[in-house]
Amino acid sequence: MTDTMLRDKVAVVGGGEKNLGGLVSRTFAEAGAKVVVHYHRSESDAEQTVKGIQEAGGQAVSVQGDLTKVGDVRRLFETAVDTYGGVDIAVNTTGMVLRKPILETTEEEYDRMFGINAKAAYFFIQEAGRRLNDHGKIISLGTSLLAAFTDGYSTYAGGKAPLEHFTRAAAKEFADRGISVNMVAPGPMDTPFFYGQETPERVEFHKSQAMGNQLTHIEDINPIIRFLATEGGWFTGQTMFPNGGYTTR
């Protein structure tokens, strides 16, 4: 059933140009969805993702925007409606990682981290709630650090933490329209975003905490997002921790 449930649906993917977002964009398109690929700075990656989808027979457009600006969030969804007539699925994979002690964190870093990880996520959910067709799906990307007792990630995990409540509140508020709202919180992922924050020794430690002595891969998370966008609609208001046993709660 999953293979047909995405056919002719319209999906907005925040950060949909590369890494996990790029994989989600391509996967949805392969299943027949029309995809609006958001990007902030990586125009070449967005062009490559859209071109690949189109060459494979799918439909996709790219939209540049800074999701910390509410006007850009609204323009992203407006483009989806104007181009394809509506929106059925909204997936936000955007975020920013910073590992830095509290005593060394600047006000500018704090504001930037909470802007990207909390404010952008909030208004993405808000605009999705306004624009989605009934029985739509909203999926946000969190972090398994929400269930960890660790140092260094105060502004990253702290900035992602409000997203749990945003998700629960939106799930209740949108329930009468059959819209499900969930958050997927992976373990540390094997992407460039992770390695820039860690020493080689800490990378090995993070690996040691999960099955197979490995980091989470985007291929581990993509099927879960696809499930929530299709057959998993009875899940709502939930935070899921797919992380190979990295942490739990």
Which residue stretches of the chain are H helix?
Answer: 2-5, 19-30, 43-55, 70-84, 107-114, 120-131, 154-160, 162-173, 192-195, 200-208, 218-228
Burial readout 77-110 (b: 16 or more C-beta within 10 A, e: otherwise): bebbeeebeebbbbbbbbbbbbbbeeeeeeeeeb
pLDDT band, very low/low/confident/very high, at 232 (cuts 50, 70, 90): very high
Residue pair 32/10 in contact by the 8 Å Cβ criterion? no
Average pLDDT over the chain reads 95
Confidence of residue 3 (pLDDT cuts 50, 70, 90): low
Report the sign of the C-alpha dihedral through residues 52, 20, 199, 160, in that order: positive
Tens-place pLDDT, residues 56-114? 999 999 999 999 999 999 999 999 999 999 999 999 999 999 999 999 999 999 999 99
pLDDT > 90 in the chain, percent: 90
pLDDT, average across residues 149-168: 96
Distance CA 139, CA 89 (A): 8
- The phi-psi region of residue 2 (left if phi > 0; otherwise alpha if psi is between -120 and 50; otherwise beta) is alpha
Q: What are phi and psi of 68, to 5 degrees?
A: -80, -5
Average pLDDT over residues 151-155: 95
User: Is 142 in contact with 225 (CB distance < 8 Å)?
Assistant: no
Query: Is the predicted pLDDT of residue 2 greater than 60, yes or no?
Result: no
* DSSP-derived secondary structure letter, 41: S
Residue 218 has pLDDT above 70, yes or no: yes
Cα 29 to chain centroid, rounded: 17
pLDDT value at position 33? 98
**Which residue ranges form the domains of the chain, and what is each CATH number?**
2-191+218-240 (3.40.50.720)
Q: In the predicted model, is pLDDT for residue 241 greater than 60?
A: yes
DSSP for 186-232, written as a single string = --SBSSHHHHTT--HHHHHHHHHTSGGG--B-HHHHHHHHHHHTTTT
**Euclidean distance between CA atoms 79 and 87, whole angstroms:** 10
Cα separation of 61 and 124, whole Å? Answer: 18
Mean pLDDT of 45-60: 97
Distance CA 15, CA 63 (A): 10
